[in-house]
A and B are shown apart, each in its own frame.
Chain A
Amino acid sequence: MRLTGLIYRGGILIAYTVMLLPVLLIVVTSVFRDAIISFPPSGLSLEWYRNAIGREEFFSGFIVSFKVAAIASVIGVPVGTAASLALVRSSIRAKQAITTFLLGPIIVPGIVAGTALYLTYLLGQNALDMDIVGTLPGLVAAHILLTIPWTVRVVTAGLQGLDRSVEEAALNLGARPLTVFWRVTLPMMRPAIVAASMFSFIQSFENLELTLLLVGPGMSTLPIAMLNYLEFQIDPTLAAVATIQIVVIAAMMLITDRYVKLSRIV
């Protein structure tokens, strides 16, 4: 009994260490003064943060990533929510098959999905005689695919835990079905939808593999800008960019957690 407890705790400790150690190292190295990371550093400096913020490609990359993530979430979350409602509430056939299909984009490796989309876009461009690859709509459409599986997973879990008798109570008190949905069902789904939005946003914002093939000249997302930078430089600027990202995402999570307890959903 005591031994299993010890192994259990040890396992948790190792898992957390493996997950958090790289994050810690990134934050630490971002303030090292030397251009080539060495230990111990010759001194500390915020120089790399200045460089990261000052470089045009990171700033524009951040804007593109933010725009794409925001638009993809705004479109993908309602679509995914509607799909969840249909899957949980209606008596349609082949629910399992549809669920698997909707989760597809996170099961298929990103680079495979990216290649497939790239080829499809090329065919589309030829057929329609317009640009799709390298455009914002093309990128957003691809990222919507990333947001839907997360939304379906999170919202479906939320819906399954929702007490149907609350909706029945509303019907019993004289509310018609549509009123019940707007006044009772949707507000009760709010925590799940907020969580789904946040996950969708982060998924889209940090995506590299799928995006790699779909960006064009003059339009690059933040992860791609970082990859490009890495090809020529190895100084801690990237660590500084990553640290800023970590802080932003952590802040988002903390703010979200104030409104909905994330531990109840994930």
Chain B
Amino acid sequence: MKSLELINIRKEYGDAVAVADMNMQIQRGELVALLGPSGCGKTTTLRMVAGFIAPTEGSVLLDGHNVTELAPYDRNTALVFQSYALFPHMTVAQNVGFGLEMRKVGRSERESQSLEALKRVRLDHLADRYPRQLSGGQQQRVALARGLVLNPAIFLLDEPLSNLDAKLRGEVRSEIRSLQQSLELTTLMVTHDQEEALTMSDRLVLMEAGKVRQAGTAQDLYERPADSFVADFIGRSNVIEGRVEAEGFQTVSGALLPPAAAGKPDARFYSVRPEKIDITRDGPGVEGAVREILYLGAQTEYTVMLGQTPLTVVAATPGPDDALASLRTGEPVRLHWSGDNARLLND
């Protein structure tokens, strides 16, 4: 059952195309993250679903009904803003009850439903407070409860965590996810933070310059990126320009890399994740020179030059007895990776 369907959505501002021919479906109970750098059209897409922006072309379907022409207040969506956007002059309970009031629900029914929604986010004890008396995380939960109480067709989360400090972000992240899963809330979340998108979503849609670059599960995008943009944006990746030869991949700067298992032979880019590369002093693989060693605690990051091509390698920090422990910049090392972990990308 599809809760949201976007069909050939296009948004133009004058000559500028904000969103180009977007097609997307979200199944009931699914959390889809719309990910991309700023200006990629993800927020525009979200606002078209909410009804604040009218698409130039295409249709928005909510629970099978075409809502493209409907005003925001006639659509059953719940938008949670980055700034929380609580009503500052109303108590928490009044905030949560506002939507019910607009639907002409009676006072006592309204109060019991609001309290129910606040219980779901464990804030029923703060019902009589004003938003300014709450912490950022609590305000975010009130904003969620304000949507929950209306039983919307879809939740729209606009950068829900970016106003929270780093420690709180992790807590709220798992809280939103567990709430979403236990209540099977259909959710579209916009974020520029790939970690947020990877950890919270069932599926990701990665956008760039108004276009969908790749859609799929976190594993799909991470393990099988469709192009160099995806490989670079999701996680970290060594994306190296060159051409495919019989014996391997010839980089522009002259290094020869092991043949990649997947990708078209006319590809111009070769990609391998930093953590998929084994680094040794005298093991198998290609030889390179260490240019930089960054100690990150549990892990260590090395920059190794294969000729003129820099490769980033992330490995567990070697123990005191390990030969790598004494490694210094300028010394030779060997890099090895399986062709299964390398991909050829066309652009």
> B-contacting residues of A (Cβ < 8 Å)?
163, 165-166, 168-176, 179, 183-184, 187-188, 190
Contacts and interface: CB of A to CB of B under 8 A. Distances in A.
Contacts of A166: 85-88
B85 A175 contact: no
B53 to A, nearest CB: 11
B103 A174 contact: yes
Contacts of A179: 102
Given A172-B79, A174-B102, 17 more contacts: A165-B81, A165-B83, A168-B79, A169-B87, A170-B98, A171-B52, A173-B98, A173-B99, A173-B102, A174-B99, A175-B73, A175-B98, A176-B73, A187-B87, A187-B89, A188-B88, A190-B89
A188 B87 CA distance: 8
10 contacts: A163-B83, A166-B88, A168-B79, A169-B81, A169-B143, A173-B73, A173-B78, A176-B73, A179-B102, A190-B89
Nearest to A172: B79
Contacts of A190: 89
Given A174-B102, A174-B103, A176-B73, A169 B85 contact: yes
A175 B102 contact: yes
B284 to A, nearest CB: 56
Find the residue from B72, B77, B78, B103 having the highest chain A CB count within 10 A. Answer: B72
A108 B79 CA distance: 48
A184 B77 contact: no
Interface string B81-116: 111011111000000001100110000000000000
Considering the complex of A and B, which 5 residue pairs feature the smallest CB-CB distances, nearest first? Answer: A174-B102, A173-B99, A169-B85, A165-B85, A187-B89
B87 A170 contact: yes
Interface in B129-161: 143, 146, 150
Contacts of A169: 79, 81, 85-87, 143, 146
Contacts of A174: 73, 99, 102-103, 150
Contacts of B81: 165, 168-169
Find the residue from A165, A179, A190 having the highest chain B CB count within 10 A. Answer: A165
Contacts of A163: 83, 85
A175 B101 CA distance: 9
Nearest to A184: B87
A46 B232 CA distance: 83
B85 A168 contact: yes
A170 B143 CA distance: 12
Interface string B7-50: 00000000000000000000000000000000000000000001
A90 B77 CA distance: 27
B150 A173 contact: yes
Contacts of A170: 87, 98
Contact of B52 (A168, A175, A176): A168
Interface bracket on B: 20 to 34
A172 B78 contact: yes
A104 to B, nearest CB: 34
B77 A172 contact: yes
A184 B101 CA distance: 13
Contact of B72 (A171, A184, A187): A171
Contacts of B52: 168, 171
A172 B98 contact: no
A184 B162 CA distance: 25
Contacts of B72: 168, 171-172
A167 to B, nearest CB: 8
A183 B94 CA distance: 12
A116 B86 CA distance: 49
A82 B342 CA distance: 64
Nearest to A169: B85
Contacts of A171: 52, 71-73
A190 B71 CA distance: 28
Nearest to A171: B72
Find the residue from B71, B81, B99, B102 having the highest chain A CB count within 10 A. Answer: B102
A172 B103 CA distance: 12
Nearest to A179: B102
Contacts of A168: 52, 72, 79, 81, 85
Nearest to B76: A174
Interface string B152-195: 00000000000000000000000000000000000000000000
Contacts of A187: 87, 89
Contacts of A173: 73, 78, 98-99, 102, 146, 150
A169 B139 CA distance: 14
Contacts of B86: 166, 169
Contacts of B146: 169, 173
A172 to B, nearest CB: 4
A256 B73 CA distance: 36
Find the residue from B81, B143, B146 having the highest chain A CB count within 10 A. Answer: B81
B333 to A, nearest CB: 49
Contacts of B83: 163, 165
A169 B88 CA distance: 12
A188 B88 CA distance: 7
Contacts of B143: 169
Contacts of B82: 165
A171 B99 CA distance: 9
A114 B88 CA distance: 43
Nearest to A177: B73
Contacts of A188: 87-89
